[in-house]
């Protein structure tokens, strides 16, 4: 049978790797490349940091691999509460992860645009610089849109945690609040106003979940009772 405590700790560990890789790729690599309103400076940053961009892209892929794995393991852990709701949450999480992974192609694309490929020889240097800057913006926009899928999935997972009986209800409330916050990505003007609060609540929820999963896991007795009842 599934060992719920071990499963919970694996989820916590993968969450930790996910956050660390995302922080490096987005917070360190991506933020130092794009210069708002200056395509030439952005292009210069890209050409000066080719190795860093490739490393950032690899970290993005590790992040998404962890995200998909966490989604699958959470389905196993939460399906005793409600298999249909857990399945919908899994599908939404995977849809967001696939969408975000595809968007990351545009993070790597500037290397080809600015790398002197013959396919773009007809474009002036200024045009290639503008295309490279646009590619980075599409990368960020695609990742932002994927957050809406994660928002819906997080809402459902929060509902399942709240009803589970083998996880603290406070974690379910935090997940629901986090999911509502991620849904602000549906409307950019709203997101620009509430972004600090959304990130604060989201990161707090993830941090508390990681701590609880790694240290306490879940109530194994209660989980097995729910799993047997569901079968």
Q: Residues 44-84: pLDDT tens digits? A: 888 888 899 999 999 999 999 999 999 999 999 999 999 99
Is the pTM value of this prediction over 0.85? yes
What's the confidence (pLDDT) of residue 162? 93
What's the confidence (pLDDT) of residue 83? 94
Return d(Cα 207, Cα 15) in angstroms, integer.
9
What's the confidence (pLDDT) of residue 230? 75
Secondary structure class of 165 (helix, strand, coil)? coil
Secondary structure class of 48 (helix, strand, coil)? helix
What's the confidence (pLDDT) of residue 65? 95
What's the confidence (pLDDT) of residue 117? 67
Spans of the chain, pLDDT less than 70? 1, 116-119, 121
Interacting residues of 34 by C-beta distance below 8 A, sequence separation 6+: 42, 45, 133, 136, 137, 140
What's the confidence (pLDDT) of residue 35? 79
What's the confidence (pLDDT) of residue 106? 93
What's the confidence (pLDDT) of residue 210? 92
């Amino acid at each position: 049978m599934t060992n719920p405590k071990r499963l919970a700790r694996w989820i916590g560990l993968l969450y930790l790797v996910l956050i660390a890789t995302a922080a490096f790729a987005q917070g360190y690599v991506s933020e130092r490349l794009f210069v708002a309103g200056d395509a030439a400076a952005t292009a210069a940053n890209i050409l000066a940091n080719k190795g860093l961009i490739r490393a950032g892209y690899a970290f993005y892929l590790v992040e998404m691999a962890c995200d998909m794995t966490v989604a699958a393991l959470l389905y196993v852990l939460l399906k005793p509460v409600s298999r249909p709701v857990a399945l919908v949450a899994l599908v939404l999480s995977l849809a967001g992860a696939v969408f975000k992974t595809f968007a990351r192609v545009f993070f790597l694309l500037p290397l080809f645009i600015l790398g002197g490929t013959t396919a773009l020889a007809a474009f002036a240097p200024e045009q290639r610089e503008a295309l490279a800057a646009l590619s980075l913006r599409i990368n960020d926009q695609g990742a932002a849109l994927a957050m809406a899928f994660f928002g819906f999935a997080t809402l459902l997972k929060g509902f399942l945690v709240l009803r589970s009986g083998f996880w603290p209800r406070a974690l379910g409330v935090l997940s629901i609040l986090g999911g509502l916050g991620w849904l602000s990505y549906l409307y950019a003007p709203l997101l620009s106003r509430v972004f600090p609060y959304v990130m604060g609540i989201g990161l707090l929820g993830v941090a508390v979940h990681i701590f609880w999963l790694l240290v306490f896991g879940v109530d194994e007795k209660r989980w097995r009772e729910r799993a047997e009842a569901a079968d």
